[in-house]
């Protein structure tokens, strides 16, 4: 009995001592952490204070920072986005800069990219998405570009509403020594387009992970890849390449840099098959974009990094995702990749670089397109459109969500275009009895066995002629009023066009039925390109530092004019929806250059030249019918305007997309010394 009592007393005493110990821990923890909470509160409330806490934050402090910044961590489009604002379309409004606002060069590039895009609106009542003019890119307290009073400025925005329908861009968050994701303000229900995004804090299908890019990154597409998709060799001199410490060194890295200074970084980069991309001060690194540009397969060594645009890009086709805890296994992993796989990975790096990362504008547009796909989820792009040439920016889902409807996917999907075409004849002068060139053209085109219908686009200021004024044809003939009586309306996506192929014709074009048939046969083999007759070229005028336009007969060409050419009807939709409205207005004002603009657009999409068929060079450019006004080709200002257009269009894209070609396709047996009866397109030789 006494033993039981002693055992009971010992147990009770031990329990009391344990409770006392727990109480002491709680009291000590409270006193130990109370000053830290005050410091955290001071940072959050007095964000402009330059005082820094040069000590490592505890996990509890990190959680407090994260919870304060991401109070709406469960935000999704369904819960934190107001779809009713987007009923009139996906438009983006940028708040006007306030007096005294300091905007960094990089953030100004982002704002400029939005302003120059087709999404921008100056009317906040029509906006679906709002972007602050407050520079939020660099939220490192040590940075000279750190913006003071960011919280106050953002929360005072007229339409802020806890961030709903707002988009915030950020490249750098937190500060030394821990570089947490502290932005110095609460993002609330705003979407965050952030570099070095952590998967723990990343809100899937709401936030967007963007790449970390330097301030030297061009606004538009001037930073070309080091190789093209077709000439990337399967292997290089070096298997693995590490990081360029020299370029971003500081005083703490001098000893390490002594070793790296022995090598030329660019030479190593361009001659390596794989490039290590470890985390930097934050999860992201400049090495990532450098590797993509150099066609060097990135080996990602940054656990927890939400890769850029991972919502739409399949990075398994362009990168090796490693584990930074298993660094020593990287050489064996890269050696196990077969040559064919290396070639495919490197080609995909060049496609992704060119399509989404080669400029600030493309990074911004990709971000906006992803958000638009979320808003219009019923007509959003699938992963195939995002991960195959030419990419999601040129494959507009409003046209179709089916990849087989786009001309550049025919060969990949084993599909062929329709076996017929629609002729669209642009008419600007009234009919003159039976001698009008347009009537002769209609008769010649209608005889083609591939012609499904003829659409006369009436852009004349005179009333539509009566039906009996038009010739009778074996195919349907319809006359439609131009969309807006402007020259760009010839490329409007009219519902009357139901075939894949469009034969675009000017009213004074002179073509035979054989020429039409042969050009259509050629186009069926190249449905993504422009195929036609009249060719022109561009050149660089070094004396004036500008692009020039020439109609001289030379050994090469880079444009096929749409006054007599085949192309896919999708380009009508892309021309109308993708080209900025101010550029279309410029073309309409001059009543010129719409054919050059279409060539720029198609070459930008395909990265290939058009195709000229037959030797015919003079297809019109003569006086119109008797007694009528002269063709616009005879206008002395016409050629000068086209020179100006060349440079305006290249400035819009940020690069020159036109590609020279020396290929001309003629029928087999063309000009051969055989009987004319053996030739299929015999009329072509008589022209």
Q: What is the pLDDT of residues 150-192, one digit of tens each?
A: 899 999 999 999 999 999 999 998 766 666 778 888 899 999 9
* CATH 3.40.250.10 holds for 415-621+629-665: no
**Residue 111 scores a pLDDT above 70:** yes
| pLDDT computed for residue 244 by the predictor | 47
| pLDDT computed for residue 613 by the predictor | 95
Confidence of residue 207 (pLDDT cuts 50, 70, 90): very high
C-alpha angle with apex 120: 402 to 115, nearest 5 degrees? 120
**What mean pLDDT do residues 404-414 have?**
95
Rounded CA separation 356/313 (Å): 10
pLDDT in tens, 248-307: 445 556 665 666 666 777 788 888 899 999 988 889 999 999 999 999 999 999 999 999
Q: Which residue has the higher pLDDT, 597 or 100?
A: 597
| pLDDT computed for residue 25 by the predictor | 54
Structure tokens at 204: 């899937």
Rounded CA separation 621/556 (Å): 20
| pLDDT computed for residue 41 by the predictor | 33
Confidence of residue 27 (pLDDT cuts 50, 70, 90): very low
Confidence of residue 48 (pLDDT cuts 50, 70, 90): very low
Secondary element (H or E) of residue 568: strand 564-568
CB count within 10 Å of CB 359 equals 23
**Residue 405 scores a pLDDT above 50:** yes
**Residue 21 scores a pLDDT above 90:** no
Q: What is the pTM of this model?
A: 0.83
How many Cα atoms occupy the beta-carbon half-sphere of 231 within 13 Å? 5
Structure tokens at 89: 């379309």
Rounded CA separation 344/220 (Å): 27
pLDDT in tens, 436-475: 889 999 999 999 999 999 999 999 888 888 888 899 999 9
How many Cα atoms occupy the beta-carbon half-sphere of 151 within 13 Å? 14
| pLDDT computed for residue 238 by the predictor | 53
Average pLDDT over the chain, rounded to an integer: 85
Q: Which residue has the higher pLDDT, 310 or 626?
A: 310
pLDDT in tens, 302-333: 999 999 999 999 999 999 999 999 989 999 99
CB count within 10 Å of CB 580 equals 13
Nearest CA to 193 among 166, 164, 169? Answer: 169
Share of the chain above pLDDT 70, in %: 80
Rounded CA separation 658/600 (Å): 6
Q: Could you state, in order of their start, the residue ranges of all structural domains in the chain?
A: 61-210, 415-621+629-665
**What mean pLDDT do residues 228-236 have?**
53
Rounded CA separation 105/215 (Å): 7
Residue 480's SS3 state is strand
Q: Which residue has the higher pLDDT, 143 or 506?
A: 506
């Amino acid at each position: 009995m006494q033993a039981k009592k002693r055992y009971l007393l010992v147990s009770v005493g031990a329990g009391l001592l344990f409770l006392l110990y727990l109480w002491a821990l709680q009291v000590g923890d409270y006193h130990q952490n109370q000053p830290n909470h005050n410091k955290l509160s001071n940072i959050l409330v007095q964000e402009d204070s330059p005082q820094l806490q040069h000590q490592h934050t505890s996990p509890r402090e990190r959680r407090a920072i994260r919870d304060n910044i991401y109070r709406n961590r469960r935000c999704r489009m369904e819960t934190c986005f107001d779809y009713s604002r987007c009923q009139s379309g996906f438009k983006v409004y940028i708040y006007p800069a306030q007096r005294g606002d300091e905007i960094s060069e990089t953030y100004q590039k982002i704002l400029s990219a939005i302003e120059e895009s087709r999404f921008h609106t100056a009317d906040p009542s029509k906006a679906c998405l709002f972007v602050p003019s407050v520079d939020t890119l660099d939220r490192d307290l040590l940075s000279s570009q750190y913006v003071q009073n960011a919280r106050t400025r953002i929360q005072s925005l007229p339409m802020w509403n806890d961030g709903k329908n707002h988009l915030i861009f950020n490249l750098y968050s937190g500060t030394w020594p821990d570089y947490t994701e502290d932005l110095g303000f609460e993002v609330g229900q705003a979407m965050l387009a952030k570099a070095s995004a952590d998967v723990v804090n990343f809100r899937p299908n709401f936030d967007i992970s963007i790449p970390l890019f330097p301030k030297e990154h061009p606004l538009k597409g001037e930073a070309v890849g080091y190789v093209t998709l077709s000439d990337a060799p399967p292997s290089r001199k070096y298997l693995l390449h590490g990081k360029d410490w020299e370029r971003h060194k500081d005083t703490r890295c001098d000893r390490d840099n002594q070793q790296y200074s022995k090598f030329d970084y660019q030479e190593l980069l361009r001659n390596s098959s794989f490039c290590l991309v470890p985390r930097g001060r934050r999860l992201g690194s400049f090495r990532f974009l450098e590797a993509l540009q150099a066609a060097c397969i990135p080996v990602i060594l940054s656990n927890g990094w939400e890769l850029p645009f991972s919502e739409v890009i399949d990075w398994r086709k362009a990168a090796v995702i490693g584990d930074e805890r298993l660094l020593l296994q990287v050489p064996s992993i890269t050696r196990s990749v077969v040559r064919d796989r290396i070639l495919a990975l490197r080609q995909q790096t060049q496609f992704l670089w060119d399509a989404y990362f080669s400029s600030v504008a493309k990074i911004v547009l990709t971000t906006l397109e992803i958000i638009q796909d979320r808003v219009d989820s019923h007509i959003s792009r699938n992963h195939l459109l995002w991960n195959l040439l030419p990419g999601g920016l040129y494959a507009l889902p409003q046209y179709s969500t089916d990849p087989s409807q786009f001309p550049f996917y025919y060969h990949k999907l084993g599909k062929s275009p329709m076996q017929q075409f629609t002729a669209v004849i642009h008419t600007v002068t009234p009919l003159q009895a039976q001698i009008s060139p347009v009537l002769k053209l209609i008769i010649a085109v209608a005889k083609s066995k591939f012609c499904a219908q003829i659409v006369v686009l009436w852009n004349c200021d005179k009333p539509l002629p009566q039906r009996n004024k038009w010739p009778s044809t074996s195919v349907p003939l319809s006359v439609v009023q131009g969309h807006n009586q402007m020259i760009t309306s010839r490329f409007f996506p009219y519902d009357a066009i139901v075939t894949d192929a469009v034969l675009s014709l000017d009213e004074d074009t002179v073509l035979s039925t054989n020429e039409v048939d042969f050009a259509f046969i050629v186009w069926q083999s190249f449905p993504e390109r422009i195929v036609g007759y009249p060719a022109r070229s561009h050149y660089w005028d070094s004396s004036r530092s500008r692009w020039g336009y020439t109609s001289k007969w030379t050994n090469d060409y880079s444009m096929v004019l749409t006054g007599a050419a085949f192309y896919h009807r999708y380009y009508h939709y892309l021309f109308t929806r993708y080209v900025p409205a101010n550029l279309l207005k410029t073309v309409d004002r001059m009543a010129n250059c719409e054919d050059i603009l279409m060539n720029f657009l198609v070459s930008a999409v395909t990265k290939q030249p058009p195709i000229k068929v037959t030797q015919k060079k003079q297809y019109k450019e003569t006086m119109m019918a008797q007694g009528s006004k002269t063709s616009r080709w005879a206008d002395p200002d016409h050629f000068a305007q086209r020179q100006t257009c060349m440079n305006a269009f290249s400035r819009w894209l940020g690069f020159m997309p036109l590609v020279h070609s020396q290929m001309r396709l003629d029928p087999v047996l063309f000009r051969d010394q055989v009987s004319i009866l053996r030739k299929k397109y015999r009329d072509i030789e008589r022209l």
